[in-house]
Amino acid sequence: MENMKRELFGMPLPQMQTAFAELGLKKFRAKQVYDWLYQKSVFDFDRMSNLSKGERELLRQTFSLLPAEVKTVRRLDSADGLTQKILLELPDGNAIETVLMHHDYGYSVCVSSQAGCDMHCAFCASGLNGAVRNLTAAEILTQVYVFNAALFPEGQRVSRVVVMGSGEPMLNFDAVFEALQFLHQPEGANISYRNMTVSTCGIIPGIEKMKALGLPISLAVSLHAVRTELRNELMPVNKGYPFADVIAAAEAYARAGGRQVTYEYILLAGKNDSDTDAELLAEYLRFKQASVNLIPVNPVPEKGFFRPDRKRIEKFLSILQKRRIHATVRKEMGKDINAACGQLRASYKAKL
CB 272 within 8 A of CB 159: no
229 is catalytic: no
Work out whether 98 is an interface residue with ligand SAH (CB under 6 A): no
Work out whether 189 is an interface residue with ligand SAH (CB under 6 A): no
Rule CB under 6 A: choose which of 8, 33, 210, 297 binds ligand SAH: 297
Nearer to ligand SAH among residue 264 and residue 279 (C-beta): 264
Work out whether 219 is an interface residue with ligand SAH (CB under 6 A): no
Residues that bind ligand SAH (rule: CB under 6 A) add up to a total of 18
Work out whether 200 is an interface residue with ligand SAH (CB under 6 A): yes
Select which of 97, 139, 168, 201 is catalytic: 97
Work out whether 101 is an interface residue with ligand SAH (CB under 6 A): no
Site mask for ligand SAH (CB under 6 A), range 20-59, x = bound: ----------------------------------------
121 is catalytic: no
> In the bound complex, what is the minimum distance in angstroms from residue 116's beta carbon to ligand SAH?
11
Rule CB under 6 A: choose which of 69, 89, 178, 264 binds ligand SAH: 264
Per CB under 6 A, residues contacting ligand SAH are 119, 121, 123-124, 164, 168, 199-201, 222, 264, 266, 295, 297-298, 300, 340-341
